[in-house]
Amino acid sequence: MFTLEKTLASNMSLLNGIPDSYHTYKQGNISKYQFDKIRKMKLNQYSGNIGPAIKKIVYGEEMIKNSFKLKPGRSLNATKSLVQHMGKLKSISKAASNGGIVLAGVGLAASCYQISQTEALTEKNEIAVKAIMSTGTGAALGTIATILLVGTPVGWGIILSVGVGSAITSYAAGEAVSYVYKSKFSNVDIVNSLGINKFCN
Amino acid sequence: MLDTYLRISFILSMAMAINGIVGLIPLLLLQHFIFKKTLDPTYFNNKYYSNYEISIFDSFPLFLIKTIGYIKAIVFPGTMRRKFKENILNPKERPVIYLLALLTIIILFISGLIIINIGVMSAVLYFTG
């Protein structure tokens, strides 16, 4: 979800100039050859950046250039299909982003359910520590990753590595801190002092 | 010694994680609303963003990417000069906005250090059994 959202969002600036370049071409400020070259260059870079996996998810077997096809002469608004396709990309990016939030919410809800179903207080605390650590670390790492990636169109490989790295780190942080809790802090009642037990029940 | 290190690491890690959930996200949302009034009229337009970006960064939760971009441009203006071509905020004119952005970066920097420390702590636990 992180990779899909961030790849599409960070590469939007590449698609930026295609409709504008078309209008510039129609006004006669650039030649058709120049416009075709700009369009081809932007689409090649976009295609390289989103990578084969996202290409397959978003475009299936269809060629990327077909989705960004202009229809000059057939309608009054030649860039209509292109703008519609950008709208589709927007929906996918937004859905991926919402999906990430939903997954985080589902994870927290599942932990909450586990807490409510567990009898032993120590176990309840361990589950809470794990859930808080994974979610908090994930939020911090997600923001750090966005700070590093924002403003530059980056390839899917980098974003995938960052996404997978963040997910693994968040999970490992939950496990490690929960282990320390178990061995050093098992007398501290986190679920009751933070009101988690009451909330989840 | 190891015991004290583990205890301090645990407290710092929990503080970072709780802050990540209840501190960082509200701080970003607060800045989103401030930037919407102060920076968006000048910078959130076709001169700096494509139509596609404008439509996508206008809705939750993707507007946070735009907010983080502004924070980066305020605290590290050099890194976003390619996009904005200028410093988007003079810290002397709007100190509160600058301090909030700086606070976010400091929180993230400390969070990053704590996350690195969790890795060190895991390695220490692994090698000491």
Which tens digits make up the pLDDT trace of A135-188? 888 888 888 888 887 776 666 667 777 777 888 888 888 888 888 888 888 888
Does residue A70 form part of some domain? yes
Number of domains in chain A: 2
Mean pLDDT for chain B overall? 85
pLDDT of residue B58: 76
Same domain as A192, residue A132 = yes
pLDDT of residue B99: 94
Asked if omega into B61 is within 30° of 0 (cis), the reply is yes
Mean pLDDT for chain A overall? 75
pLDDT of residue B56: 74
pLDDT of residue B34: 92
Does residue A103 form part of some domain? no
Same domain as A78, residue A131 = no
pLDDT of residue A30: 82
Mutation target to probe the B interface, by most B beta carbons within 10 A, among A10, A21, A83, A177 is A177
What ipTM goes with this model?
A: 0.82
Least confident of A63-77, B22-36, B113-127: A63-77
pLDDT of residue A8: 67
pLDDT of residue A150: 77
Does residue A95 form part of some domain? no
The answer to whether A85 and A68 are in contact (CB under 8 A) is yes
End residue of a domain, out of A87, A110, A137: A87
- Regarding predicted confidence, which is higher, B108 or A87? B108
End residue of a domain, out of A87, A109, A144: A87
The answer to whether A176 and B14 are in contact (CB under 8 A) is no
CA distance A197 to B104: 30
| Domain containing residue A138 | 120-200
CA distance B62 to B55: 10
pLDDT of residue A110: 77
Number of domains in chain B: 1
Does residue A51 form part of some domain? yes
Q: Which of A43-52, A120-129, A157-166 has the highest mean pLDDT?
A: A120-129
pLDDT of residue A13: 66
- Regarding predicted confidence, which is higher, B41 or A5? B41
| Domain containing residue B42 | 2-128
- Chain B residue with Cα closest to A175: B122
- The pLDDT of residue A46 is above 80: no
Does residue A97 form part of some domain? no
Does residue A102 form part of some domain? no
Same domain as A34, residue A77 = yes
A15 touches chain B (CB under 8 A): yes
Half-sphere exposure of B26 (CA within 13 A, CB side): 5
Q: Look up residue A62 and give its amino acid.
A: E
- The pLDDT of residue B106 is above 90: yes
- Inspect the interface and report whether the beta carbons of A15 and B28 lie closer than 8 Å: no
End residue of a domain, out of A45, A63, A87: A87
Mean pLDDT of B73-78: 88
- Inspect the interface and report whether the beta carbons of B50 and A15 lie closer than 8 Å: yes
Of the candidates A101, A140, A179, the beta carbon closest to that of B24 is on A140
Q: Rounded to two decimals, what is the model's pTM?
A: 0.68
